[in-house]
Every structure is written in C-alpha cells, then in structure tokens.
Amino acid sequence: MITVCDVGPRDGLQNEPDVLPAETRAELITRLAAAGVPRVEAVSFVRDDRVPQMAQAERVAELVAESHKVSGTELSGLVLNERGWERFRTTALARVNVTVAATDAFSERNAGMPRDEALRQTTAVLRAAAGTPSTATISVAFGDPFDGAVDEGSVIEIAGRLAEAGAGEIVLADTIGVATPRAVRRVTGRVAALGRAGGHFHNTRNTGYANALASLEAGATVLDASVGGLGGCPFAPRATGNIATEDLVYLLEGEGVETGIDLDALVDTSLWIAGVLGRDLPGQLARAGIPARR
Amino acid sequence: MITVCDVGPRDGLQNEPDVLPAETRAELITRLAAAGVPRVEAVSFVRDDRVPQMAQAERVAELVAESHKVSGTELSGLVLNERGWERFRTTALARVNVTVAATDAFSERNAGMPRDEALRQTTAVLRAAAGTPSTATISVAFGDPFDGAVDEGSVIEIAGRLAEAGAGEIVLADTIGVATPRAVRRVTGRVAALGRAGGHFHNTRNTGYANALASLEAGATVLDASVGGLGGCPFAPRATGNIATEDLVYLLEGEGVETGIDLDALVDTSLWIAGVLGRDLPGQLARAGIPARR
C-alpha cells in the first residue's frame, strides 16, 4: 500500500495558464476524493494577487470540508511562511505541507532568500505546526536549472534538519524533471533511513514514471502526482508537468501495489478537468484507454 | 553495454502519415550511424503499393551502405515472408528481422493468417537465413487490442520455436503499449533463459521507459527505440509511438549503462527529423534539453 497524493489542485493548477474559480477547484478535489485518492493537496496559502490561480484558499477549503469527511481523503495545504500557517489554522485541512529548495540559486529565485534562511523559516513553521500531520518537500533535490547538479550531502543534511523540526515525512522533488532512477533510489534510501520518505516527479524528460517506481523500491511511502498531468501543457515548448496520477496508478496496479484508488473514476476525473480546461492533458491513459483485461 | 536499436527509419516512419523520399530516409539512417547508434532498423521489404512509407527499400539500403561501413553501425531490414527474404539478400544489410504475433486475433488482422501459419512462415525465413545475424520479434507479447491479456505460456512457446529455428535473439514487443514492469521482468527473464532477449516498448500509457529498464534488469541485451519517438504523433488522439531513443539513452546514462551513443548528436538528429516532418515529436529530451551538468 502506497499513499498517492494528488497535487493537481495545487501544484497542477498553479502552473496552468487558466485561472479556475474556487467552486471548480473544489469540484476537482471532491471528484478526486470520490475516486478514492488517499490524499489531495488542495490549496496553497499565498497572496491572491501574486498567484491568482491559488486565490481564495479558505473558500476552497470550506467547500471541500464535507467531501473530505465523507470519503476519508486527507486534504493538505501548502504553507510558505508563518503568515500562511496562520491562514491554514483557520481551515479544516488535515495536513500542512512546507517546502525548501536544495540550492541557494533556486531558493533565491523561487523564495527570494538564500536556502539557509528559507530552511530557518520552514523549520519555524514545522515547530509551530507541531501536532498537525506535516510533509516537508525538498525541491530541486536532483538537479537545479541554475546550478546543474545538486550536492547529495546537502539534501541529506536538509532532510535531517526538517526531520528534527518535526516533519512527519520528507518528499524529494525533481522539480525540473532531470532525475534518473539510480540517483532517486540512492537518495531516497538515505532519506528513508531518517523517517518516512516520498517522491515528487515531473516527466519533463520521460523519466518520471521510472523514477516513481525507483522511489517506491527504495522505501518511499508517498508519491505525488497530478490528475491528467495537470501543470504541464503538451503544447508548451518545455512542458514540465507532474507525472499523471492515473498513469502512475496504472503502473502501480501492474506492479501489484495497492493504492485504494478507483482507476475508472480517476480517468473520468482526468477527462472532466481536461474538458474544463478545453484541451488534452499530458497524461496518456485517459486518451489511450484502460485495457479491457489486465 | 546494451545494444540500442533505432527503429525510427522503419517502425517509426512506417507509422507516420508523411511519406519521405528514399534520400531523406537514407540521410536519417546516416545521421543515426554518425551519432554512434549501434544498430538501425533501416527498411522493410514489403510491397511498395501496400506501404508507400517503406517503398524503395533496396534504394535506401544502397544509399546507406557507405555510412554503415564507416561507422560500424549494424543495419537491419524487416522481412515478412520468403519474397522479402529474396529481396533482402540482394542488399548489403547485415541483419534480418522477422516478426510473429503472440495471438491469433492480431496475426489475422496484421498478417492475414492465423498465428501458427505465420510462425511456420517466419521459421522458414529464419532457416533460409541461416548464417545471417537475425532477430525475431514477438509482437503483442504483453497484451492484444482484440483479445486483451496474452497467455504467457504461448509467448514462451513461440520464443522456443523461434530460437530452435535459429533466431539470434528474441525481442518481446509491447506493440500496443499496455505492459507494466513486473510482467516485462518476468517474461523477459524466461526468454533470456533461452538465449539473447530484447525489448521493444511503446509509451502509449507512459510505462515505456520503466518497461525498458525492467527489461534490461531481467537480462535483455537489446532495446528498440525510435529517434524522437517517431511513429507516435502527440496530436493524435491515441498516440502509440515507440519510446524515444534519446530519452532512453538519457535514462540509461543515468543508470551508468553504456550505449556508445553521442547524446548531443542524437538530439540534433531528433530535432532535424522533427524539422523535416514540420512538427514536434513525442520525445521530450530534445525539447527540454540535456541538463548542463549531470
């Protein structure tokens, strides 16, 4: 059994050009929950004017509170700083996500501060959130668009600091889609030795699904993916989307790994959100179809 | 060391809507050879009126004879029957490929005869070709669009008959892109026990690269792929292309597996053939770029 976390409503939609209303985002979350997805990253607590795709996080959380209770799906929210944590606390979301980049260059570009300062703020949130289930994601853990290779020792050190601050699990994110399975297996194994580990893969260079499998083999207990591969536009010259949840589940079923997800309902959800956005998504199972007999 | 066989000029172009002249097909083969691809499936000996994409096989073979000698790349040709074998013999191609479907339904649809009759003709070609390096591919080895699941015992039995008839290696093809790694590992392991085994994967449901890795882990010594993922159109509703050679090589390099291929030159070739066809190909590395430092 593996916990698949659908990050489509957050990481996916945040990287789509379209801005969907809170009601549509809530419907996506409700549909994912109805398909039995064990965890859904629902919202991000950021400034509405900075990331319009993620506006009205509290409203989305309120709209989905009921679906969460009914299905037992764990809903999470991304928190970037103490202000975000104060907003998170007013909602019924069950799990808090925090994130820190593995390199200075990416941290400066993405969070506007050096990595160590970002790590200080992240661990402060984790300490404030003690008692709430938490996930800490290390972004660009396998490669960085500015610096290239990432020092593995630094990643392990950051993971240690996050675990020490109370992170319930540590997810290694291949944010720019450069990782290959051997590195994933090695680093994930080292992080799994510290506590619960997970993987977050983008399929930018077609290695995402093989990486997810390698992560699982190395002891990961949670894998991120986004329904339809939301967040990566097939018509963009440099599509950088998450692996698609339904394609991942198809792969995992073939491996005999249980997910608790109803694959037909998940494919229907993928086709539904593709219809909302008015275009094909990068996920391939929804287009090719679930084979008749497996 | 693994033998990567680029099937783009044959399996790839045969499934493209455009018909390229013999000179352009020869240039593609020459460029692949110059990039160090150890084996290229160059042509198919079929009736020109039936498959216009593959017309003038002898002309293509003649045009590339020189590039083959210079680079040491092994060039192969697909032969479907004894007439094809007679044509193959007039060329300087080094390796003969034959193929047989794992199921009656697919064999009837694709070869116009039951599987056992197709197997009889295929083994006859292998016997006639004794002394010439040969590859026998079992298509729909992991699933069939008409019958669904494929009996594993039948696949192993066919592999045994092909080996007995002198096939130098047996390639298991996931023609419709339904396989998952566990099944690939299991069947490939059984075929590898009979002799040299290989894998041919389509990325129709995003499992192709993980399957290639599983095939390698189970003992495969040859992997098919097509430059750019030729043969699968990203804008078609049901893209069924081969895995892209450059994306496979990127994955293999990350695993520490040597291919002898110059990845930069291969990416250039992918971009070149995309330009010839006037559209993006499904392979992702050429669009996303080779990361600066690995």
Q: What is the per-residue pLDDT across A55-80, written as a single tens digit (0 to 9) for each?
A: 999 999 999 987 766 678 999 999 99
Q: Average of pLDDT values for A156-170?
A: 98
Confidence of residue B236 (pLDDT cuts 50, 70, 90): low
Quote the tokens at residue B177: 């892109």
Which chain B residues have a beta carbon less than 8 Å from that of A144? none
Q: What is the DSSP string of chain B?
A: --EEEE-IIIIIHHTSSS---HHHHHHHHHHHHHTT-SEEEEEEE--TTT-GGG--HHHHHHHHHHHHHHH-PEEEEEE-SHHHHHHHHTS---EEEEEEESSHHHHHHHHSS-HHHHHHHHHHHHHHTTTS-EEEEEETSS-BTTTBS--HHHHHHHHHHHHHTT-SEEEEEETTS---HHHHHHHHHHHHTTS-EEEEEB-TTS-HHHHHHHHHHTT--EEEEBGGGTT--TTSTT--PBPBHHHHHHHHHHTT------HHHHHHHHHHHHHHHTS--S-SHHHH---S--
Confidence of residue B213 (pLDDT cuts 50, 70, 90): very high
Percent of chain A residues topping a pLDDT of 90 = 85
- Could you give the CA distance from residue B60 to residue B27 in angstroms, rounded to a whole number? 9
- Could you give the CA distance from residue B219 to residue B190 in angstroms, rounded to a whole number? 10
A234-290 confidence digits (pLDDT tens): 555 555 689 999 999 999 999 999 999 999 999 999 999 999 999 889 999 999 999
Confidence of residue B226 (pLDDT cuts 50, 70, 90): very high
Chain B from 247 to 286: CB within 8 A of any A CB: 247, 250-251, 253-256, 283-285
Which chain A residues have a beta carbon less than 8 Å from that of B176? 291
**Per-residue confidence (pLDDT) for residue A239, from 0 to 100:** 53
B24-48 confidence digits (pLDDT tens): 999 999 999 999 999 999 999 999 9
In this model, does residue B66 exceed pLDDT 80?
Answer: no
In this model, does residue A233 exceed pLDDT 60?
Answer: no
What is the domain-level CATH number for residue B73? 3.20.20.70
Q: Is residue B292 part of a domain?
A: no
**Per-residue confidence (pLDDT) for residue B232, from 0 to 100:** 66
Confidence of residue B280 (pLDDT cuts 50, 70, 90): confident
Among A46, A233, A263, A285, which one carries the catalytic annotation? Answer: A233
Residues 6+ away with beta carbon under 8 Å from B27 = none
Q: Is residue B293 part of a domain?
A: no
CB contact under 8 A, A210 and B209: yes
Percent of chain B residues topping a pLDDT of 90 = 85
Is A180 an interface residue toward B (CB < 8 Å)? yes
CA B116 to chain centre: 23
**Per-residue confidence (pLDDT) for residue A67, from 0 to 100:** 73
In this model, does residue B75 exceed pLDDT 90?
Answer: yes
Number of domains present in the structure of chain B? 1
In this model, does residue B265 exceed pLDDT 90?
Answer: yes
C-beta neighbour count of B62 within 10 angstroms: 15
**Per-residue confidence (pLDDT) for residue B264, from 0 to 100:** 98
Amino acid letter, B133: P
CB contact under 8 A, A291 and B143: yes
Domain residues for the domain of A254 are 3-285
| Cβ–Cβ < 8 Å for B251, A181 | yes
**Per-residue confidence (pLDDT) for residue A121, from 0 to 100:** 96
Q: Is residue B121 part of a domain?
A: yes
Is A186 an interface residue toward B (CB < 8 Å)? no
Percent of chain B residues topping a pLDDT of 70 = 95
Residues 6+ away with beta carbon under 8 Å from B153 = none
**Per-residue confidence (pLDDT) for residue B233, from 0 to 100:** 55
Q: Is residue A174 part of a domain?
A: yes
Q: Is residue B187 part of a domain?
A: yes
In this model, does residue B13 exceed pLDDT 90?
Answer: yes
In this model, does residue A49 exceed pLDDT 70?
Answer: yes
Q: Is residue A42 part of a domain?
A: yes
Percent of chain A residues topping a pLDDT of 70 = 95
Residues 6+ away with beta carbon under 8 Å from B193 = none
pTM for this model (two decimals)? 0.96
B124-166 confidence digits (pLDDT tens): 999 999 999 999 999 999 998 887 889 999 999 999 999 999 9
**Per-residue confidence (pLDDT) for residue B262, from 0 to 100:** 97
Q: Average of pLDDT values for B168-191?
A: 97
* Chain B closest-CA separation from residue A206 CA (Å): 6
Strand partners of residue A97: A78, A135
